Structure 1
């Protein structure tokens, strides 16, 4: 039954996430009574529970039907899900939706099982259309060259992250990327876009305009360093293209380009690190959630469908970034060592002497 539910409802678009579970007996090891849809096997069939919820505000699921056959169970789930999808508010889970539904579970039983509104056939047809049109989006990416390009590491080159850049640690017996060990980098940012008047700063290619997602960012490679470039078409003209360092000062994860972009009530454009949710002013690079964390910012321009960022020379930027990282280890009372491969290493363990520089 669990496999049947998974295959039948995968890819379903709903107001919020939907969790399902199937237990093979009344011991209820799968905790089906805490899910949006849960089925528990009985001697005569399945008991169907709906509108359960875990998390910070757990809600026990309500019993919708008892001793259903497989066919009856799937029919009722089809109707329930499509009725929920058709009437719930945006981002509303099934539990609060049922709490607001006049008549509660008794009314829902009449709609789903007794067809009191005369819409059961319509709900079933809606589900059939959904199942007929369901496609695996990841499979589509795997077989589509144009879509695969959206998942390349950098917007300006087909080079990929060297696997040695990622340092792994053992966590509960599992291999895990080391996102916890590097110390925080505090203090002012290394660069501000206002500093770019220096004669040795250069404009580098940062990818095609068409490659950038709306209201999102991509990472750009500059020698050993990475930039985060964002496209915000709904912002003011001078703020539609913004660039910062890709290295998040909090735990030194290279994740800013994949950050969550937002706008504060006062109009401030923000980006939040997707791992730790550390928030920054996307225009100035100043830390919002923690003023001790700050991002370097850089000027951008668009010419002939191409994006460019003005940055200092690779060697200068690498030297200053390396020094800043070393100082963060020192301030944390830890030693910053080179690996056995020889030569200095960056904060993620990559030997600098073996990195291939790019000519722009």
Structure 2
């Protein structure tokens, strides 16, 4: 297939005509191409190909060049910085808050300094190594309001904080479910950002957004990881009540924090392993050198000169 990017549309274009020409090209493409049609296939479909395109946007064969430029200007005038809009709107800024029920924040991984820059520490070497699903709470469980139900009018999940513990609350098909926020695989506090799904048997699950561990949300084995038998999460009953709040059936703050407090599971530097360990082992401490200092290959000096070879050879 002939690559279309090698075809020249125009040459020797004066600088002040470059932008108008590009505007006409882009707007003509926007107006005439099929949905998701690549520019190469679009160009092939034009009657006459690139010759016809030149006639339209350079020679103004159809008399639409001025209109194409005007339409592009109207499109450009609709541009705006979405992030600036968020910063200027307290309501939209709340969408980026760590917790849906408080303005508090928590560090979920130790921050380390490397080469005068900061970064989160690497993943933990081991998973949490505890069966959270089968944990037996010693104290009583009490229904407690944690978040207003109206929050879920525009969201399917929320990360809420109670004491020093993070909990993930989900609304799926009109019902509420709650788990710990921490995925035990790499101890990342991310489950409220996971993908929600179900299967033909009616089982609901949330998939960790980092490493796709799927935790069941309902049924007799709620909290079980469907694709890793060594992992599980704690589940909590959840319901919406007439006062407009979502309630969770929880143990005391002290007991909940004793098992799930963020500070207990946040990954620390000494618990992590660098992803470059194997590479460092391979390089064995070698240091880089300037190209002029590198030895590419060592060869023995020839015993003789020219094409004749050494003196011991007979021709």
After superposition, the C-alpha distances for 1:21-55 in whole angstroms (9 at most, x for unaligned) are: xxxxxxxxxxxxxxxxxxxxxxxxxxxxxxxxxxx
Look up the match of 2:92: 147
- Say whether the 8 Å CA contact 1:184–1:252 is kept in structure 2: yes
RMSD over aligned Cα, in angstroms?
Answer: 3.9
1:298 corresponds in structure 2 to 236
Deviation of residue 227 (structure 1)? 0.5
Partner of 2:164: 224
Q: 1:199 to 1:183 in 2, by over 3 A?
A: closer
The answer to whether 1:127 aligns with 2:68 is no
In structure 2, the CA distance between the partners of 1:61 and 1:267, relative to structure 1 (3 Å rule), is: farther
Cα offset, 1:177, TM superposition: 0.8
For 2:132, which of 167, 186, 189 is the aligned residue? Answer: 189
SS in 1 for 2:77: helix
Q: Quick one: structure 1 residues 144 and 107, their matched pair in 2 at CA, closer, same or farther if it must change by over 3 Å? A: same
- In the TM superposition, residue 202 of structure 1 has moved relative to its aligned partner by 2.0
1:258 aligns with 193
Q: What secondary structure sits across from 1:133 in the alignment?
A: coil
Note closer, same or farther for the CA distance 1:122–1:319 as it changes in structure 2 (3 Å cut): same
State the match for 1:97 in structure 2.
38
In 2 relative to 1, CA 185–347 (structure 1 residues): closer, same or farther, beyond 3 Å? closer
Tell whether the 8 Å contact from 1:214 to 1:231 is kept in structure 2 after alignment. Answer: no
Alignment of 1:245 with 2:184, yes or no, is no
What is the match of residue 257 of structure 2? 318
Distance 1:302 1:265 in 2: 26
Return the offset for 1:348. Answer: 2.1
Alignment of 1:250-289 (within 5 A): 250-263=185-198, 268-283=203-218, 284-289=222-227
Q: How does 1:48-63 map to 2 (within 5 A)?
A: 61-63=5-7
Paired residue for 2:274?
A: none
In the alignment, is the contact (CA less than 8 A) between 1:256 and 1:271 conserved in 2?
yes
Q: Aligned partners of 2:73 and 2:125: how far apart in 1?
A: 50
Size of the aligned set, in residue pairs, is 256
TM-score by length of 1: 0.57
**Contact (CA 8 Å) 2:146, 2:245: kept in 1 or not?**
yes
**What is the SS of the residue equivalent to 1:158?**
coil
Q: Give the C-alpha shift of residue 88 in structure 1.
A: 5.1
Alignment of 1:40-79 (within 5 A): 61-63=5-7, 65-67=9-11, 68-79=13-24
**Deviation (angstroms), 1:174:** 4.1
Q: Distance in 1 between matches of 2:139 and 2:55?
A: 75
Structure 1 residue 137 corresponds to structure 2 residue 82:
yes
* Unpaired stretches in structure 2, ≥5 consecutive residues: 269-315
Equivalent position SS for 2:75: helix
Indicate how the Cα distance of structure 1 residues 249 and 146 shifts in structure 2: closer, same or farther if over 3 A, else same. Answer: same
Task: Give the Cα separation in 2 of the matches to 1:251 and 1:70.
Answer: 55
C-alpha separation between the residues in 2 aligned to 1:275 and 1:160?
A: 21
Assess, with a 3 A threshold, how the Cα gap between structure 1 residues 66 and 292 changes in structure 2: closer, same or farther: farther
Cα distance change of structure 1 residues 311 and 145 upon mapping to structure 2, 3 Å threshold: same
Contact persistence 2:123–2:267 (CA under 8 A)? no
Structure 1: 5+ residue stretches without partners: 1-58, 326-344, 351-360
Residue 211 of structure 1 is matched in structure 2 by 151
- Structure with larger Rg: 2
| Residue aligned with 1:103, SS | helix
SS in 2 for 1:114: helix
Alignment of 1:330-341 (within 5 A): none
Match of 1:347 among 248, 265, 268: 265
